[in-house]
């Protein structure tokens, strides 16, 4: 017997969202395309006017037109036949101008490149929301990384436990053994952490399977968890006490005394561990050093971004010692590391960089990253990101590896460069072809062939993106 629950219908599945995003990217209009449209709106009436003037010139003043034609012909490598009949010359010249100036190449310049770029990105596991996002990605100057789950594996484990030494009143590391996982502080910390989905909480929750009776449990975003407990131990004087498990900054703000914990915090923070404290009624009962492994390719990603002349920043809620240790492993500059940043402050940090003239891309995966992803000029969400983060992002990496970040930005810049090349050649072609047609050097048949060639050049240049390879 197989029981199934439908959680998403056909239009709501991940595959349907991917298909919709690719189609949206292909059909969207970037601002640079609107620039081409505005130019075309002016270009068309000007060309019509030139065609009328050229026809009148060849029809009403054929001698003057032929004289100018003959003078210019001596500088050109080919000779064009001129009709002796002024009326025929007028109509043929006007038709040639209209044909050669057909703005097909300008109309194709941007959508062809966007379609090719979006398809090339999707084949690499990079989902671009629309053409505007593709254009924004090509203009990025700074990239901000969230730490947990983005630069790190997102699977932290408790590496050490700090317990108070009765003789010295200092917190010392104790070994994590199976027989100690039922100890009172371990059980209390695990119980408090068990109801949270945060990766650090889940790591602490594995310390013990014992449940402690708690009530009024609540999670303070970016800080920790708290609850009321009835926990009969010699360390607790009150039958009902408030227990807190979370960031040291939050516990200090709550008035918890950290005397004797400095050595343990400094030792493990210097090794890149996140320190979590357990306190009951403002008394510190234990410290937990939670370590998360840096992704193997993270340092290479930072190096590639530096080679692309992009600034890289790390923002994290960890203390400065932990953040600097992670930054050292990644090759980040100390001045580009910002620690003890609350989730709601990430968007403010993005805004601060934008006010300094930076075009900011934010890379994150959690619900807390959604405001920053929305505030950034370009939001990038990794594959295991929450639904909220995905909806806020402009680019979704279908592969969890962040190696796709420099690749996506490089491909976006290549697409933007291709759009500009297409627009340049389209305008250059018309700027050169219209005068030649007006002076009688190009017949309508030659103009039609040249117009087709210009379209082929623009499309062929866009299709080069399908074979694009990163040089980094």
Q: Is the separation of the CB atoms in 192 and 233 below 8 Å?
A: no
- Residue 226 CA to residue 10 CA, distance in Å, equals 41
Query: Looking at residue 234, what is its pLDDT?
Result: 46
- Residue 289 CA to residue 274 CA, distance in Å, equals 6
Q: Is the separation of the CB atoms in 396 and 381 below 8 Å?
A: yes
The burial of 3, by beta-carbon neighbours within 10 Å (0-12 exposed, 13-18 middle, 19 or more buried), is given as exposed
Mean pLDDT of 24-32: 56
- Residue 86 CA to residue 65 CA, distance in Å, equals 10
- Residue 228 CA to residue 238 CA, distance in Å, equals 11
Over residues 245-286, the pLDDT tens digits come to 999 989 999 999 888 888 888 888 888 888 999 998 888 888
pLDDT level of residue 181 (50, 70, 90 thresholds): very low
Query: Looking at residue 377, what is its pLDDT?
Result: 87
pLDDT level of residue 449 (50, 70, 90 thresholds): confident
Is a pLDDT exceeding 60 seen at residue 237? no
Q: Is the separation of the CB atoms in 273 and 291 below 8 Å?
A: yes
Query: Looking at residue 107, what is its pLDDT?
Result: 75
Helix (H, G, I), strand (E, B) or coil at 92: helix
Is a pLDDT exceeding 60 seen at residue 325? yes
pLDDT level of residue 236 (50, 70, 90 thresholds): very low
Mean pLDDT of 396-407: 80
Q: Which of 121, 113, 117 is nearest to 458 (CA)?
A: 113
Query: Whole-model pTM?
Result: 0.70
Query: Looking at residue 17, what is its pLDDT?
Result: 63
Which residues are part of the catalytic machinery? Answer: 146
Q: Is the separation of the CB atoms in 144 and 360 below 8 Å?
A: yes
Highest mean pLDDT among 13-22, 33-42, 130-139, 293-302: 293-302
- Residue 447 CA to residue 435 CA, distance in Å, equals 12
Over residues 121-139, the pLDDT tens digits come to 888 888 887 777 877 888 8
Over residues 215-232, the pLDDT tens digits come to 889 998 778 999 998 645
């Amino acid at each position: 017997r197989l029981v199934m629950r439908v959680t998403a219908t056909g239009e709501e599945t991940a595959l349907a969202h991917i298909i919709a995003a690719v189609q949206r990217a292909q059909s969207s209009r970037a601002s640079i395309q609107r620039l081409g449209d505005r130019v075309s709106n002016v270009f068309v009436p000007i060309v019509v006017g030139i065609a009328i003037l050229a026809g009148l010139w060849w029809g009403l003043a054929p001698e003057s037109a032929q004289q100018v034609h003959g003078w210019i012909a001596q500088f050109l490598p080919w000779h064009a036949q001129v009709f002796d009949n002024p009326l025929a010359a007028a109509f043929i010249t006007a038709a040639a101008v209209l044909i050669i100036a057909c703005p097909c190449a300008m109309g194709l310049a941007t959508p062809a490149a966007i379609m090719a770029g979006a398809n090339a990105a999707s084949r690499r596991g990079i989902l671009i929301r629309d053409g505007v996002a593709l254009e924004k990605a090509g203009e990025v100057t700074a990239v901000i990384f969230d730490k947990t789950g983005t630069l790190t594996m997102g699977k932290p484990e408790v590496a050490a436990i700090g317990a108070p030494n009765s003789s010295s009143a200092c917190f010392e590391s104790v070994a994590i053994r199976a027989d100690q996982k039922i100890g009172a502080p371990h059980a209390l910390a695990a119980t408090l952490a068990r109801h949270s989905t945060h990766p650090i909480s889940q790591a602490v929750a594995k310390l013990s399977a014992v449940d402690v009776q708690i009530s009024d449990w609540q999670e303070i975003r970016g800080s920790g968890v708290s609850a009321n407990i009835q926990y009969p131990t010699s360390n607790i004087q009150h039958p009902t006490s408030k227990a807190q498990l979370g960031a040291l900054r939050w516990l200090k703000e709550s008035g918890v005394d950290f005397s004797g914990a400095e050595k343990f915090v400094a030792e493990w923070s210097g090794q890149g561990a996140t320190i979590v404290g357990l306190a009951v009624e403002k008394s510190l009962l234990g410290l937990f050093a939670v370590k998360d492994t840096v992704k193997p390719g993270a340092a290479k990603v930072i190096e590639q971004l530096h080679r692309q002349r992009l600034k890289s920043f790390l923002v994290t809620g960890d203390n400065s010692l932990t953040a600097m240790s992670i930054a050292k492993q990644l090759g980040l500059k100390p001045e580009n590391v910002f620690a003890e940043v609350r989730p709601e402050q990430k968007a403010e940090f993005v805004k601060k960089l934008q006010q300094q003239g930076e075009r900011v891309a934010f890379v994150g995966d959690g619900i807390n990253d959604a405001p920053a992803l929305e505030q950034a000029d370009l939001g990038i969400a990794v594959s295991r990101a929450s639904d909220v983060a995905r909806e806020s992002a402009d680019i979704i990496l279908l592969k969890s590896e962040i190696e796709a970040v420099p690749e996506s930005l490089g491909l976006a810049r290549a697409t933007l460069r291709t759009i500009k090349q297409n627009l340049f050649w389209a305008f250059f072609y018309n700027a050169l072809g219209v005068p030649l047609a007006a002076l009688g050097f190009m017949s309508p048949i030659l103009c039609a062939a040249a117009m087709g060639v210009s379209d082929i050049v623009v499309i062929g240049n866009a299709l080069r993106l399908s074979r694009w390879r990163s040089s980094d």
